[in-house]
Structures are given as C-alpha cells and as structure tokens.
Chain A
Amino acid sequence: MKERLIVIGNGMAGMRTVEEILKLDTEAYDITVFGAEPHGNYNRIMLSPVLAGDKTIDEIMINDEQWYVDNNITLHKGKTVVDINRKARKVIIDDGSEYEYDRLLIATGSTPFIIPLPGHDLEGVIAFRDIHDVDMMIEAAKNHKHAVVIGGGLLGLEAANGLMQQGMKVTVLHLVDTLMERQMDSVAGKMLRKSLEERGMEILMPASTKEIIGTDRVEKVVLEDGREIEANIVVMAVGIRPNIELAAKVGIHCERGIVVNDTMQTFDPRVYSVGECVQHRGETYGLVAPLFEMAKVCANHLAQHGIALYEGSVTSTKLKVTGIDLFSAGDFTGDENTEELVFQDASRGVYRKLVIEDNKVKGAVMYGDTIDGSWYFDLMREETDIGDFREKILFGQAHLGDSGHGDENRIEMMSDSTEICGCNGISKGDIVNSININKLLTLDEVRAHTKASSSCGSCTGLVESILAHTVGGDYSVAPHLKPMCGCTEHTHDEARKAIKDHELKSVRAALDFLEWNTPDGCGKCRPALNYYVMCQYPDAESDDSQSRFINERAHANIQKDATYSVIPRMWGGGTTPTELRAIADAADKYKIKTVHVTGGQRIGLYGLTKQELPEIWDDLNKAGLVSGHAYGKALRTVKTCVGKEWCRFGTQDSTQLGVDLEKMTWGSWTPHKYKMAASGCPRNCAEATIKDFGVVCVDSGYELHVGGNGGIKVRVTDLLTTVKTSEEVLEYGAAFMQIYREEAHYLERTAPWIERVGLAYVKEHIVDDDDNRKALAERFHFSQSFAQDDPWEARAKGAEKHEFEAMKNINA
C-alpha cells in the first residue's frame, strides 16, 4: 500500500509542495488535502489586482478542481482539521471524521492580525487576506463612499489603492511617520506618500486609532487625538500572525511559528510544515518566493530524496500599485560599518539608495525607476564585489557596457509586439499571454512554454522583468543557488566539489554519488559533469563521448540541415600556399557549396555529410592541416595582426606570439568557447580587447587583457597586468586559462565569470601570487600533455567508426 500524505491547508505553500512531490515521484503517496476555504488553490499575492479590478478571480486560480482529480488527490473543501492524534497518526475533522496519515504536512498559513479595539467586531471591519475579504470590499464600494485602512504597510496600501479604484474615498491611518517603514527609508517613504496623495488618497500619520464607532455597521473611526473620520468600511492591515494554534495544541514545538529545521521537518519527524505558518532559523516569511523555496526542499524530503536544504531566503519587495514603482531588498538602513550610495532626482521622482559593506551590496531602496532592482538584488545575493564599477553602479546595468538591451528595459512602456527573444521570435505580448493563460510563476516555466530566453539566454533579465511585472513583484525569483538543472538539487559548484573530493572519475560515478533524480541526467547536466570530470582528472581517460554534444562527439559543427562544417586550424591566422591548395582541392573534391572566411582568421567548408568527415580530414591531414576545434567548448583561435615584422607601427612580434599561444593551448577543453588575440600595437587591429585573453603589445612589453567577448553582449576586457617578456605572456596565459577551466561553471564564458567573481579575485590569484600562478600554469601543461592529439587524425584512421557510418543501409 502506498504511504498516505495528508496536507492541512489548501494554499499556495501546501499545493506547491504537492506539485513538487508529483514532479519527483507521482507514485509516492496517496494525497489528501484539507482546505478551510471553499475554493481551489489561488494566488493570494494577486488579490490586490483583483480588488483593483485589473484581474478576475478566475485569472488567479492556480489549481482548479480538475487538477486535483487529474492528479488523484482527494480534496476536502470547507473542512477544518480540529485535532491531530500524533500517536495514532490521525487527523480529526470538525464533522468528527478521522483520517490516518503516514506523513503530515501542515501548511495552515497565517491570519491577519486584528487589533482588539472597541468596535473591531462591527460589521464592515475586515482584514485583507482572502477572496471573501475582497468580495466584501467590492460589495462595500457599490453601496458606500468612505473607507478607512488601518496600516500603511505593503498590504494596507494595496488595499487602499484597490478601494480607490473601486470608487471609494480612502483614508489610510499609519502608526509611525513613514509609509512601509519595513521596506522604505524616510526619503522613499515621502516620495511614495506624495504620489499616493496626488492620486487622491488621504494619509494620516502618525495616527493611532482609539476606537471604531457604529451601531450595527461601522460609521466612523476615532483617533487618540480626538479626530473622527467617517467610515463605511474599515480594513485592518497591520500584520499577519502564523497559524500555529493546531500545531501548538497537539504539542508540536512552536514559537512565533511552527519551528522547522532545514529540511522543513517539525519536532515530530512525521510532520512537516511549510509556508507562512513556519518559523525557520528564527524567521517567519510572508512573501511567495520563500514559500516556493521551502516547498521544493520539503518535497525533496517527502519524496525521500533527502538531499535538499532550506537555508533561509533573501527577499525583495515591490508594491503592486499600477504606476508606482518601488523596490526594496535586504538591509536598507545600514549601521556604522556600512556606507550609502544615493542618487536622487526629485523632479523626475527618482530615488535610489544602496547600502554597501566591504564593497558588497547589503540592501537597496528604489523609487520611481526600479528597472535595476533585480540586478541589485542579484549583486546582493551573489555577494559580488562591486569595486570595479562602484562609480557607475547607481546609474544601472545599462551603463556598464551591456549593450544588449539597456534602455529597452522599460517593460511597462513596451508595446505588446516588441520582440523580446530574438532567437525564437517571441514578443512581449506572447510572454504576457502565456503567463496569464498558463499561470506561470517561474522563469523555467516561462521558458518551457514560450521558449523565450531558452536559446542564447541574453534576454533572461528582460523575461524575468516581464514575469515580475505581470504576476507582481514577489514572483518566484530564481533561487540564490541555482541547481544545475531539473535533474538535481546540486549546484555547479557542489557537483564540482564532490567530483574533486570524492575522486569521481566518470559521469556515471558522479551521477550515482550525487544521487541524481533522473537515471542518467539530461542534455544539460551530462555535458557539464563530463567537463568537470575531465578537467579534474585529465589523465584518467574519463571522457564520455555520449555525454558530449554532437559537435564535440563528431568534431564538426552540425548545421541546420544536419550537414557539418569543417574548419582546419590556421596557427595565429597564418597559412601557406600548400595549405590553401589542399583546402581548394578538398572543396572541389567534396563539391563544397560554401567556402567562407571565419571571424577567427581561418577558412570554413560547409555542407559535408557526416560520412564524408573522416575522408576529408584524411585529405587535409596530408597537407598538415589539423582540427581547428571550431565546434567545441575549447580553445578556438588566436587572432593576430602582422606585428612589427611588417607593420610600420608594430612594437613586438605579435604574430609569432599568437602562434606560440595557439601551439600552447590548442586541444584544451574549456567551460565555454575560448578565444585569444595578440595585437602588435595599441591600434589593436586583432581586436584583442574583446577576447577571453588578449595581448596588446606596447613598446615596453605586453598588456594582458582578460574577460572580453563579442557575441551576445559585447564586453570589453579588463586589464589584468602588464608584463615585460613573451615568456611571461605564455605563463600568464596558461595560468588564466587554467583558473577559468577550474572555477567557471560549464557554459559560462570568461566575461560573466569575471563579473561573478570580480577582477580583484583574478588579480589576487594570478598577478599577486607568483607561486599560485606557476602552479596553475603547471596544471594547465599537465592537462595539455593528454589533450594535444589531433582528433581528426585518429578518426581519419578509423577511430570511433560507429559515429560516422550508418548501422545499416536497407535502400533496395
């Protein structure tokens, strides 16, 4: 018999956990859900737009009743669990019936706090928590004029805004003198007050309520200072309290919330808890993103995978009031150890404050223009060293040489037809529609349904912004530590560390040791693991060709019509008449339609069938031409100019330097493609400052530049250092390539990697630490001693035959 899981609470946290369990194992449990509300599961954070009339109830349902049926889940709506017999493992319902469980999940959420003022129980005094409250407010607005909202926090202001949209005259009473003081500093609070007042909201603060007066229904609110405010409806939005009564009653340890450990388990090992009712490491949460993170971890343990840990959430806030943009995250007040960076333009209504400690973002408050909120939030969560762009940080990401999107980032002003994902031709309207129709809440879901940002990924930030804008600010942001893919909870760094620490010398060993959720990974994680294993154990013959993308398996680039391209290496961009003749002969022999000079100073032949590859390689090999690895996450090219041998401006022999660099590095596999260049003078004709490693020769020596790329987002290199001799260039070149090989995530180019770890980190390990640089270079050369075999030669001689030949030809 299957184990029985009972879920108390039919809200977002509980149902998200159930969804996550079903994703891992549909057969794990017989699931029964008890929900006190007479609805399916809806998106509670979207109640404000419903009240404001921007959305309907149907639009915010997440799981309709059919979903429970489809997934064999028994749903008891409108039934309340009144007791739990933990010894007999039973829950007792208000109608007296009993249900047995093997595992219990308590997801009872929270209740709004109602201040016990005189008159709090009059008709028309409500909270803002569920569909019922929203119905009451909409109903009140039809017949009445005056509304009072007690509480000027996030929820209170959203309620007030919604009531105004419904046509009521709204007064907000707030106890202290800053609106949303838990999210805003006083400057942003004042700006917010001004815009709300301009819209017609009356705001009284500091204002302490003394009593609510009325005969049957509320009539007015009286303040401590004697002021009286007419009111036909009073909404209390002064905070929430975790629903712990049931758990506390049956002896499960509770403090402010139900206390759980990092696996979301309560003090009773058969009982788990998630959502707003829990207290984890002393914190309680009232936003969606943390609930989703908890749900994922909890599901992992309930499905007996047993590897995920919840370590708390860093949260950010946005106010869901159309036309008001504010954003806040982290510690925005600071202390004696922090500094503040402030940008304020009162006439444009723009304010930004960042709290910085040790060159790291600790918190942010933004008002007016919040486009960069998600960027600051990322910097904060990743603890990025901002030293290199500190002077520009307040102007936003668009000013950091990210020529990708910049000013396009104004989601609201974008027309629906604006193309967001250039790779897949997806417009803003497509994405918004899909989010609404399919009720998408995460970036991964948007990718699966629309394909937006699933190819090159350059529009990821835009798609996240659209998601945030469409579903509200606290949508499920990508977690701080991202798992490698859906097959595992492990991050790239964790997988890599395990491969190193536990001597996992094959993809299979890594999958087994790390307890992958899928039998043999997927097309995303297997190539990554294969790379990590190969990089760690270059001498172990660990390469698994079935874990490589076709291009690296076939040593040629697959084209859209399933033919392949062949690009032989031209060392430092140089060639000879003999090589050119061989290429021309091959082009004739194989009837090549397209002969093309590549951006990396070599010649590409296009349109070959897979069967022809070993043959043409054999022909090219005979003229001394070898694989150019134009197909690999590997050293591609070293672009050069003709340097001082010919050029009247040349300062050094950049051409020979380029050849030496290429001879040293060819054949190496890297996390992503890796390009180099050497320019003979600062005119930089070889474009060395947009390469992963670029050398610019100057009269006194060589400037070494790192972390550049052309491509999707052009990034100009950072200057690593200047050296005197070409020997040093090679040593630094080897060391830099090795630290990138050892530390970057698979498919992360040097540019984003450097932005992640910071140039200071790279300098510290390569420039300042001579021993470490030499050790890195040595490890690189050791790895190269196994890597520098021309893969074309081996295959031309018959290796890996099965890769290139049909198994059978049955064309009669």
Chain B
Amino acid sequence: MSEEWVEVGSLSDIPKLGARVVNAPDGDIAVFRTASDDVFALRDECPHKKGPLSQGIVHGDRVSCPLHDWKIMLDSGNAVAPDEGCAASYPIKMDGETIFLSLTPNEGCPNKG
C-alpha cells in the first residue's frame, strides 16, 4: 500500500453529528463525526446535484444532503435506495484523537470529483 496519510486535525475539531471541510488539491473533502465518534471522509459532493454534503444533517451512519435531501451512507458514499449514485469515500486512520486522511479514494465509486 502506498497510502499517504495526511494529518487533518483532531476529533474535537468536528462537532458530534457534524462535519468539517478539508480543502484538497482535487476538491473539498468532507470529514464527518458520528454520535459514536466514528469518523468518515467523503468527496464533498452529492452524486445528485453536487450539494455540499459537509453542510448536511448527520444522523446514524448517514448524512442528508442539504440541497434535495438525498441520504448518503457515510462509510461507502453510496446513496440510500431507491436513489442511486455515490460520492467517493476516503480512508481515515485515527491515532488517539488525531485524524489522518488518505487522499487516495477507496475503490468502487467513480465520482472522485
């Protein structure tokens, strides 16, 4: 694996059930924190009309897009059925409270921005 981990901040930088944006060379990446302090990263673009997912309401293991309320799974980036599409997801590694992000998206979604 040639993954390069970039430190992007600490868990406390993100509100519970919230998200923050990381400005990356290929476009913004949204980093989410769930109620149980799991952290996920997705391309900050809804597969529907490119709404900024980082601005949505986080609930359970998904986020509702602020533009037209599509639900996107935080782990896979897939839209919740019956909607179809995906936002690329990015690997996250935690070292204690510190969040590391890989800029190489996970396999499976062509929408890398």
**Do A547 and B57 touch (CB < 8 A)?**
yes
Closest B-chain residue to A527, C-beta based?
Answer: B57
Shortest CB–CB separation between residue B30 and chain A, in angstroms?
A: 10
**Do A520 and B59 touch (CB < 8 A)?**
yes
Whether A413 is near chain B, meaning CB under 8 Å from some CB there, is no
Whether A671 is near chain B, meaning CB under 8 Å from some CB there, is no
**Do A546 and B23 touch (CB < 8 A)?**
no
**Do B35 and A802 touch (CB < 8 A)?**
no
Shortest CB–CB separation between residue B99 and chain A, in angstroms?
A: 9
**Do A807 and B57 touch (CB < 8 A)?**
no
**Do B58 and A810 touch (CB < 8 A)?**
no
**Chain A 535-559 interface 0/1 with B at a Cβ cutoff of 8 Å (1 = within):** 0000000000111011000100010
- Given known contacts A455-B68, A519-B60, A449 and B22 CB-to-CB distance under 8 angstroms: no
A-B contact pairs, 22 of them (CB 8 A): A448-B82, A449-B82, A454-B69, A455-B68, A519-B60, A520-B17, A520-B35, A522-B60, A523-B64, A523-B69, A526-B57, A526-B59, A547-B57, A549-B57, A550-B57, A562-B50, A806-B21, A807-B21, A808-B6, A808-B7, A810-B22, A810-B23
Q: How far is the CA of A523 from the CA of B51 in the complex (A)?
A: 15
Residues of A within 8 A of B14 (CB): 802, 807
Whether B13 is near chain A, meaning CB under 8 Å from some CB there, is yes
- Given known contacts A520-B17, A802-B20, A810-B24, A562 and B55 CB-to-CB distance under 8 angstroms: yes
Q: How far is the CA of A449 from the CA of B83 in the complex (A)?
A: 8
**Chain A 788-812 interface 0/1 with B at a Cβ cutoff of 8 Å (1 = within):** 0000000000000010001111111
Whether A348 is near chain B, meaning CB under 8 Å from some CB there, is no
**Do B67 and A560 touch (CB < 8 A)?**
yes
Whether B47 is near chain A, meaning CB under 8 Å from some CB there, is no
Q: How far is the CA of A520 from the CA of B18 in the complex (A)?
A: 12
**Do A522 and B64 touch (CB < 8 A)?**
yes
**Do A802 and B13 touch (CB < 8 A)?**
yes
Residues of B within 8 A of A526 (CB): 57, 59
Whether B108 is near chain A, meaning CB under 8 Å from some CB there, is no
Shortest CB–CB separation between residue B13 and chain A, in angstroms?
A: 5
Whether B105 is near chain A, meaning CB under 8 Å from some CB there, is no
**Chain A 623-639 interface 0/1 with B at a Cβ cutoff of 8 Å (1 = within):** 00000000000000000
Q: Of A523, A546, A550, A807, which contacts B31 at CB under 8 A?
A: A807
Residues of A within 8 A of B24 (CB): 810-811
Q: How far is the CA of A810 from the CA of B29 in the complex (A)?
A: 11
Whether A344 is near chain B, meaning CB under 8 Å from some CB there, is no
Closest A-chain residue to B27, C-beta based?
Answer: A811
**Do B9 and A807 touch (CB < 8 A)?**
yes
Whether B85 is near chain A, meaning CB under 8 Å from some CB there, is no
**Interface size (A, Cβ < 8 Å)?**
30
B13, B23, B59: residue with the most chain A Cβ atoms closer than 10 Å: B59
Whether B66 is near chain A, meaning CB under 8 Å from some CB there, is yes
Shortest CB–CB separation between residue A291 and chain B, in angstroms?
A: 24
Q: How far is the CA of A598 from the CA of B73 in the complex (A)?
A: 37
**Do A809 and B23 touch (CB < 8 A)?**
yes
Query: In residues 2-34 of chain B, which contact A (Cβ within 8 Å)?
Result: 6-9, 13-18, 20-25, 28, 31
**Do A562 and B52 touch (CB < 8 A)?**
yes
Closest A-chain residue to B65, C-beta based?
Answer: A523
Shortest CB–CB separation between residue A563 and chain B, in angstroms?
A: 10
Provide the main secondary structure of the chain B interface: loop
A438, A454, A526: residue with the most chain B Cβ atoms closer than 10 Å: A526
Counting from the closest, the 5 A-B pairs by CB-CB distance are A523-B64, A807-B20, A523-B57, A809-B23, A550-B55
Closest B-chain residue to A545, C-beta based?
Answer: B15
Closest A-chain residue to B7, C-beta based?
Answer: A808
Interface bracket on B: 35 or more
Q: How far is the CA of A558 from the CA of B67 in the complex (A)?
A: 8
**Do A806 and B20 touch (CB < 8 A)?**
yes
Shortest CB–CB separation between residue B32 and chain A, in angstroms?
A: 11
Q: How far is the CA of A611 from the CA of B88 in the complex (A)?
A: 24
Whether B77 is near chain A, meaning CB under 8 Å from some CB there, is no
**Do B56 and A550 touch (CB < 8 A)?**
yes
Shortest CB–CB separation between residue A779 and chain B, in angstroms?
A: 29
Closest B-chain residue to A564, C-beta based?
Answer: B55
Residues of A within 8 A of B31 (CB): 807
Shortest CB–CB separation between residue B72 and chain A, in angstroms?
A: 11
Q: Of A518, A519, A522, A562, which contacts B57 at CB under 8 A?
A: A522
Q: How far is the CA of A519 from the CA of B17 in the complex (A)?
A: 11
Q: A522-B60, A549-B66 are in contact. List 19 more A-B contacts (CB 8 A).
A: A438-B82, A448-B82, A454-B69, A518-B59, A518-B60, A519-B60, A522-B57, A546-B16, A546-B18, A546-B58, A547-B57, A560-B67, A802-B20, A807-B14, A808-B7, A808-B23, A810-B24, A810-B25, A810-B103
Q: Of A520, A521, A527, A811, which contacts B25 at CB under 8 A?
A: A811
Shortest CB–CB separation between residue B3 and chain A, in angstroms?
A: 15
- Given known contacts A518-B60, A523-B56, A550 and B22 CB-to-CB distance under 8 angstroms: no
Q: How far is the CA of A527 from the CA of B59 in the complex (A)?
A: 12
Q: How far is the CA of A558 from the CA of B53 in the complex (A)?
A: 12
Q: How far is the CA of A547 from the CA of B56 in the complex (A)?
A: 10
Closest B-chain residue to A800, C-beta based?
Answer: B15
**Do B56 and A519 touch (CB < 8 A)?**
no
Residues of B within 8 A of A519 (CB): 35-36, 59-60
Closest B-chain residue to A807, C-beta based?
Answer: B20
Query: In residues 88-113 of chain B, which contact A (Cβ within 8 Å)?
Result: 103
Residues of A within 8 A of B6 (CB): 808, 810
Residues of B within 8 A of A522 (CB): 57, 59-60, 64
Q: How far is the CA of A545 from the CA of B60 in the complex (A)?
A: 17
Residues of B within 8 A of A808 (CB): 6-9, 22-23
Q: How far is the CA of A806 from the CA of B8 in the complex (A)?
A: 10
**Chain A 499-533 interface 0/1 with B at a Cβ cutoff of 8 Å (1 = within):** 00000000000000000001111110011000000
Shortest CB–CB separation between residue A558 and chain B, in angstroms?
A: 6
Residues of B within 8 A of A438 (CB): 82
**Do B67 and A810 touch (CB < 8 A)?**
no
Residues of B within 8 A of A521 (CB): 59
Q: How far is the CA of A360 from the CA of B113 in the complex (A)?
A: 57
Shortest CB–CB separation between residue A630 and chain B, in angstroms?
A: 16
**Do B15 and A802 touch (CB < 8 A)?**
yes
A522, A527, A562, A807: residue with the most chain B Cβ atoms closer than 10 Å: A807
Residues of B within 8 A of A455 (CB): 68
Residues of A within 8 A of B52 (CB): 558, 562
Residues of A within 8 A of B51 (CB): 562
**Chain A 419-463 interface 0/1 with B at a Cβ cutoff of 8 Å (1 = within):** 000000000000000000010000000001100001100000000
**Do B22 and A807 touch (CB < 8 A)?**
yes
Q: How far is the CA of A131 from the CA of B11 in the complex (A)?
A: 60
Q: How far is the CA of A545 from the CA of B66 in the complex (A)?
A: 15
Q: How far is the CA of A391 from the CA of B11 in the complex (A)?
A: 63
- Given known contacts A545-B15, A802-B15, A808-B22, A558 and B82 CB-to-CB distance under 8 angstroms: no
**Do A806 and B23 touch (CB < 8 A)?**
yes
Closest B-chain residue to A561, C-beta based?
Answer: B50
**Do A812 and B25 touch (CB < 8 A)?**
yes
Q: How far is the CA of A474 from the CA of B21 in the complex (A)?
A: 49
Shortest CB–CB separation between residue A764 and chain B, in angstroms?
A: 38
Closest B-chain residue to A808, C-beta based?
Answer: B8
**Do B56 and A560 touch (CB < 8 A)?**
no
Shortest CB–CB separation between residue B66 and chain A, in angstroms?
A: 4
Residues of A within 8 A of B36 (CB): 519
Q: How far is the CA of A455 from the CA of B48 in the complex (A)?
A: 15
Shortest CB–CB separation between residue B100 and chain A, in angstroms?
A: 11
Shortest CB–CB separation between residue A614 and chain B, in angstroms?
A: 15
**Do A546 and B57 touch (CB < 8 A)?**
yes
